[in-house]
Structure 1
Amino acid sequence: MANLKEVKNRISSVVSTQQITKAMKMVAAAKLKRAQDRITMMRPYSQKLSLILQNVSNGEGEMNNPFAAERPIKNVLLVMVTSDKGLCGAFNSTVYRKTQSLVDNEYKSLHETGNVHFLPIGKKAIDYLKRKKYSYTTEFVDLFNPLSFDTVSDAAESIMKDFVNEKYDKVEIIYNEFKNAATQEIRNEQFLPIERTEQETDVALGNDYIFEPSQAYIEETLIPTSLKTQLFKALLDSNASEHGARMTAMDKATDNAGELLKELRLTYNRTRQAAITTEILEITAGAEALAAD
């Protein structure tokens, strides 16, 4: 049985840890509220803009859209969106598993020839790629510091430029989509080329568009803006998911620390009682020995 000092030190350590996890939970909850508000406001706009873009791109030769060009897939770029910090449960590991699944299955032959490329967003993605010894670019790794549309736009423009220049034939984004504070769903979206949907025409809008001010203006502004918005939405989703996952993880850690404290305090009391009993027996034995003399 552990001595009293060891048990007391463990209790002190667990109490300190519980205080830290409780504080981290409160900080994550505050950040989650702001992040949730941002993605809640952005999502309807992004979804409607993407729908318009897909409907326009589905037109029969109406637009010369270089971002919808479908080519034989020779080079693929996987954009991994993770966090900069840990202690957020399975948030990052789900991105790792999804990425590895794509590499081992869908893009296995391309990976074997070195034609699968990676763009990590978040320091944890870099750590994973280093462990796997995959080559990657770190040009846009710090997009969360701070997360703004302008910084994301630079990354989106770089990816779009590489796609148009045929450096990549397909670009996918792997990230956690925010559902609620306790639930995040792993997603891998095709970023480029723009997918041509086979769904029926949007009833509210139709496919019979009148271009104003001009078709060329739409090609030059609406399509790039929509793609930038799509990437920005993915990062907002991931940011909100990270704070939700961290809040949940710290809440569970705080509860676990409480359960451990109960066990340690029970052990401490038992150890203390045993020590007192031993001392009483020693004193009694000594008194009896003196009386016998």
Structure 2
Amino acid sequence: MANLKEVRIRIASVQSTQQITKAMKMVSAAKLKRATNAIVQLRPYATKLKEILGNLSASLEGGSSPFIEEREPNKVLIVVVSSNRGLAGAFNMNVIKTANNLIAEKYSEQLKKGNVSIVAIGKKSQDFYEKRNYKVIGNNNEIYAALTFENVTKITEAIMTGFEQGEFDRVEVVYNQFKNAAVQILTSEQLLPLPKAVVNLEAKATNVEYILEPNQEEIVKELIPKSIKTQLYKAVLDSHASEHGARMTSMDKATENAGDLLKALKLAYNQARQAAITTELTEIVSGAAALNG
């Protein structure tokens, strides 16, 4: 009977866990809908902004903006976008591994000299790099409490100021790009200086005539910072949607696994119960036979 009691306790425990994972899946599905709407609405704007910037800046010199100035990457800043919470499968570890691989492949010499800094957006990446004694700048764990363009812009402006002042020669951002609920694409992009592909569309650029006020240089100087801010905001929104997609998928799989485990436990319980009943019947029949004999 002790064995039956243990199985009953396990069944109750798995049923409770299944209810929790099912509820978490539903919550993530609701949050995913809102996060997906945000990133889908931003993408056309970000794409059009890059296109206009490319058309306008194709004829400008490199010195027209400090944010397109190519320098030797002696000091590097890596922006790692993760989440504040776990229970999302390999979502956080994958983005951290991608950032670590980027540092190892491209900036190993800078790391040895202590010239690699980290801006972590999300508690998981913040904790990971602080525990390993990386040079982590700031704390941005509260960004997801109010994920707005204005709040992300504060981070971007600090990064842009550091780049202008020579604190960083190159800035790269690593994040999960959202494709759908089940698929997230690990992405690393150069944030600063703006890649030439963004600033110069070369011969592929379509000739578009604009009426420019006050002049082309002033407009491009205004658009380049806005493009940088939009790019980082888009990366954070992509990661936010990917987080909820990964968590929803993970909780769905956990719910299925709990169901499979419940079936196995109930089968084991029924078999043990049947064995106990059979043993009791055998003992009764044996006892009756002994009395009659």
The answer to whether the superposition gives a TM-score over 0.5 is: yes
Q: Unaligned stretches of 5+ in structure 1? A: none
Partner of 2:156: 156
Q: Secondary structure at the match of 1:119?
A: strand
> How far, CA to CA, are the matches of 1:178 and 1:103 in structure 2?
23
**Structure 2 counterpart of 1:190, one-letter code:** Q
Partner of 1:21: 21
Q: Secondary structure at the match of 1:3?
A: helix
**Structure 2 counterpart of 1:265, one-letter code:** K
Q: Secondary structure at the match of 2:166?
A: coil
Partner of 1:232: 233
Shift of 1:53: 2.5
> How far, CA to CA, are the matches of 1:122 and 1:85 in structure 2?
8
Partner of 1:223: 224
Partner of 1:250: 251
Which of the two has greater helix per residue? Answer: 2
How far does the alpha carbon of each residue in 1:10-62 deviate from its partner, in whole angstroms, 9 at most, with x for none? 11111111111111111111111111111111001101212333444443427
Q: Secondary structure at the match of 2:143?
A: coil
**Structure 2 counterpart of 1:250, one-letter code:** M
How far does the alpha carbon of each residue in 1:224-270 deviate from its partner, in whole angstroms, 9 at most, with x for none? 11111111111111111111111111111111111111111100100
Q: Unaligned stretches of 5+ in structure 2? A: none
**Structure 2 counterpart of 1:188, one-letter code:** S
Partner of 2:278: 277
How far does the alpha carbon of each residue in 1:139-165 deviate from its partner, in whole angstroms, 9 at most, with x for none? 333211110011011111000000000
Structure-2 change in CA distance of 1:41 and 1:281 (3 Å)? same
Partner of 1:81: 81
Structure-2 change in CA distance of 1:139 and 1:271 (3 Å)? same
State how 1:25-174 maps to structure 2 within 5 Å: 25-61=25-61, 64-174=64-174
Shift of 1:9: 0.8
Partner of 1:177: 177
Q: Secondary structure at the match of 2:99?
A: helix
> How far, CA to CA, are the matches of 1:7 and 1:139 in structure 2?
46
Q: Secondary structure at the match of 1:189?
A: strand
**Structure 2 counterpart of 1:268, one-letter code:** Y
How far does the alpha carbon of each residue in 1:188-207 deviate from its partner, in whole angstroms, 9 at most, with x for none? 0100001112654454445x
Structure-2 change in CA distance of 1:165 and 1:210 (3 Å)? farther
CA contact (8 A) 1:11 1:261 kept: yes
Q: Secondary structure at the match of 2:135?
A: coil
Shift of 1:213: 2.2
- For these two proteins, the number of residue pairs brought into alignment is 291
TM-score, length-scaled by structure 2 = 0.92
TM-score, length-scaled by structure 1 = 0.92
Shift of 1:138: 2.9
Shift of 1:212: 1.8
Shift of 1:215: 4.0
CA contact (8 A) 2:177 2:242 kept: yes
> How far, CA to CA, are the matches of 1:12 and 1:23 in structure 2?
17
> How far, CA to CA, are the matches of 1:103 and 1:137 in structure 2?
16
CA contact (8 A) 2:178 2:241 kept: yes
Structure-2 change in CA distance of 1:224 and 1:274 (3 Å)? same
**Structure 2 counterpart of 1:99, one-letter code:** A
> How far, CA to CA, are the matches of 1:237 and 1:155 in structure 2?
17
Partner of 2:260: 259
CA contact (8 A) 2:58 2:202 kept: no
Partner of 2:269: 268
Structure-2 change in CA distance of 1:217 and 1:113 (3 Å)? same
Structure-2 change in CA distance of 1:62 and 1:262 (3 Å)? closer
Compare 215-224 and 238-247 and name the one that shifted more.
215-224
Q: Identity over the aligned pairs, expressed in percent?
A: 51
CA contact (8 A) 2:156 2:229 kept: yes
> How far, CA to CA, are the matches of 1:214 and 1:203 in structure 2?
20
Give 4+ residue runs of structure 1 displaced > 4 Å after superposition. Answer: none
